[in-house]
Homo-oligomer: A and B are copies of this chain.
Amino acid sequence: MEKIISEAAEKLKALDFKLTARREMTLRVLLENRDKHLSAEEVYNLVKLEAADVGLATVYRALELFQELGLIRAIDFGDGRKRYEYGIEDDSDLHHHHLICTKCGRIIEFNVDLINEIESRIKREHNFTMTSHQLKIFGICSECSGK
């Protein structure tokens, strides 16, 4: 994790941004909750545990910055707010998707490589150059189907 933080610091510095204490806390919260898909306010509440006087706007601004730098991703699960997850668009992460339970809202991580075959097709048929993709699968999770 320290490696990720210092790499982030370099990435920011390269663009004349600073990895300030507040920004680092924000990033750490996301790293420590990789599978939780926190909303901005949830991130804010966790950052506040270590920096009680942090402002909500600061967290929003940090999240936007990280997103622009490609350190984190915003996802919309349809509940009216953005949710964030750490994730660089590298190979290991390319096939990371989500199962969304429409009954309880649970989000389950899921990996599948479905894109290789598609990428060449959309290039050929639409001359569209894919940079990233999102697959969301809606349905009923095992907990809810038992009830």
Contact = CB atoms under 8 A, between A and B. Distances in A.
A126 B135 CA distance: 16
A97 B112 CA distance: 17
Given A112-B121, A122-B99, A132 B128 contact: no
Interface string A73-101: 01010100000000000000000000101
Contacts of A127: 141-142, 145
B122 A130 contact: no
Interface in A39-96: 74, 76, 78
A129 B145 contact: yes
Nearest to A137: B133
A114 B110 contact: no
Contacts of A142: 126-128
A4 interface: no
Given A99-B126, A126-B142, A118 B132 contact: no
B122 A132 contact: no
A13 interface: no
Contacts of A99: 122, 126, 128, 130
A99 B127 CA distance: 11
Interface in A95-141: 99, 101-102, 108, 110, 112, 114, 118, 121-122, 126-141
B108 A128 contact: yes
